Amino acid sequence: MNSLGLTEAQPENNVARIVLETLGVTLSKDARARSLQLPAWNEALGLPRPWDQQWSLRIQQVLAFETDLLEYGDIFEGSKLIEAKTDELADEAQAELDDVLGLGGAFEAIDELKGRLVRSHAERMRRIESGALAVVGVNCFTETAPSPLGGADNILRVDPAVAEQLTAEVAEWKADRDNDAVKRSLDELRRVARSEENVMPATVDLAHAGGTTGEWSEVLREEFGEYRAPTGVGAAAGVSGGSDGLRAVAARVRTLTGGPPRFLVAKPGLDGHSNGAEQIAVAARDAGMEVVYQGIRLTPTQIAAVARDEDVDVIGLSILSGSHLELLPEVVRLVREAGVEAPVVAGGIIPEVDRDQLLAAGVAAVYTPRDFDLTRIMSDIVDLVARRR
């Protein structure tokens, strides 16, 4: 189950959302999920603690052991409404599959499918912004008493010493292994990669020799190149005609001296959650900016190089991995070393207690999931550009 609907505002409401999603995939015996992995209530705030993960586990256990759900057949059997909805869903799924096959299959249609996904998310965001899609605690029923679940200790905070220890352990591993054997295995992997042979035996041999995942992947990257998936941003620009707010920002952009801002949107590190970055990129295009977005999993060095080569006016970094205190200052440092003075803004799952540290490191602004108003974010970015010109 995904965490798309979880909110930073009034996060206690997420427990009800998780329970409802759980019921949706468990009530029907004939369509019941065989396994579940529930999100934690505070995933929109930061990394969940073991206790938070336990809470999600207990939801499943209460349903399984404190109710009689598992003692009956399918409780929806014979329901005309459920059968009609099931038939409708099956027909729509078949139509979608036929469409994909008509495009030549999934591989051939990946650009189109990614574009549709981003466009669908953009439509959802526009509906939340306008109030057409109610999200309790976010755009309606926002009044609240102080939550006892709040505070700086309501998420997992990883000690930086853990990363230092792991780095030291890898270095020790490399020093103690038979590096001649590792080199022979890497050379064999490279030879096989250049041929039509199966790379798996050479991969297993490298593992037995003590090679690391990084060494293995670097050889394959050198031989095969690096795949950059489509972003879908272009297909979603202007979805539903944009919004009145974004059109107002675009009108202001057209009056800026020096032309529309060049906005680099980037995701540093191994974080693969691209939805937030994509929606920022789509909104920026709808707001009249020139957007540079190359997808996920870029290194700080790569981001700094793009910022320099593309001569950007502002840099937006999206991060949901919990490594913002390490990666974001590093990007700022490398960007400045590259001679780029463009302001850097950040967004993602960033705890409030980390905001001041990021601002002190040179980040111009920090946005979190409670900042769902994309028009305000785009207006802030235009303000940053205008002040520098």
**Residues 195 and 85 grouped into a single domain:** no
In a domain, 250, yes or no: yes
DSSP state of 319: E
Q: Which of these three, 202, 224, 246, is where a domain ends?
A: 224
Q: What CATH number does residue 249 fall under? A: 3.40.50.280
To the nearest whole percent, how much of the chain has pLDDT over 90? 87
pLDDT category at 235 given cuts 50, 70, 90 is confident
Lowest mean pLDDT among 77-91, 149-163, 189-203: 149-163
In a domain, 181, yes or no: yes
- CB neighbours of 293 closer than 8 A, spacing ≥ 6? 231, 233, 264, 265, 266, 277, 278, 281
**Residues 278 and 202 grouped into a single domain:** no
**Residues 282 and 220 grouped into a single domain:** no
**Residues 374 and 255 grouped into a single domain:** yes
**Residues 118 and 44 grouped into a single domain:** yes
**Residues 210 and 266 grouped into a single domain:** no
pLDDT tens for 254-293 read 999 999 999 999 999 988 889 999 999 999 999 999 999 9
Q: In this structure, what token pair is assigned to residue 339? A: 């001679």
Q: Which of these three, 224, 254, 278, is where a domain ends?
A: 224
Closest CA to 322 of 198, 160, 101: 160
Structural domain of 270: 233-388
H or E stretch covering 317 = strand 314-319
Which pLDDT value is given to residue 389?
86
Work out whether the CA dihedral 84, 90, 93, 97 comes out positive or negative.
negative
In a domain, 143, yes or no: no
Count of domains observed in the chain: 3
**Residues 85 and 209 grouped into a single domain:** no
| More confident site: 290 or 1 | 290
pLDDT tens for 47-58 read 999 999 999 999
Which pLDDT value is given to residue 124?
93
In a domain, 171, yes or no: yes
pLDDT category at 349 given cuts 50, 70, 90 is very high
Lowest mean pLDDT among 32-36, 163-167, 285-289: 32-36
pLDDT category at 243 given cuts 50, 70, 90 is confident
Q: Which amino acid is at 88?
A: E
Cα–Cα distance for residue pair 84/86, rounded to 1 Å: 5
Q: Which amino acid is at 137?
A: G
Averaged pLDDT of the chain: 94
Which pLDDT value is given to residue 1?
65
pLDDT tens for 334-344 read 999 999 999 99
Which pLDDT value is given to residue 134?
96
Which pLDDT value is given to residue 230?
92
**Residues 87 and 199 grouped into a single domain:** no
Which pLDDT value is given to residue 196?
95
**Residues 123 and 216 grouped into a single domain:** no
Q: In this structure, what token pair is assigned to residue 187? A: 């050379």
Residue 152 in this model has a pLDDT that exceeds 90:
no
Cα–Cα distance for residue pair 242/207, rounded to 1 Å: 51
Assess contact for 345 and 363: CB atoms under 8 A.
Answer: yes
Chain Cα centroid distance, residue 175: 36
Q: Which of these three, 170, 204, 224, is where a domain ends?
A: 224
In a domain, 135, yes or no: no
Average pLDDT over residues 227-242: 81
**Residues 318 and 262 grouped into a single domain:** yes
**Residues 211 and 261 grouped into a single domain:** no
pLDDT tens for 360-387 read 999 999 999 989 899 999 999 999 999 9
To the nearest whole percent, how much of the chain has pLDDT over 70? 99
Residue 240 in this model has a pLDDT that exceeds 60:
no
In a domain, 138, yes or no: no
In a domain, 145, yes or no: no
In a domain, 151, yes or no: no
Which pLDDT value is given to residue 261?
97
**Residues 207 and 269 grouped into a single domain:** no
Closest CA to 244 of 375, 124, 340: 375
Closest CA to 187 of 214, 223, 226: 223
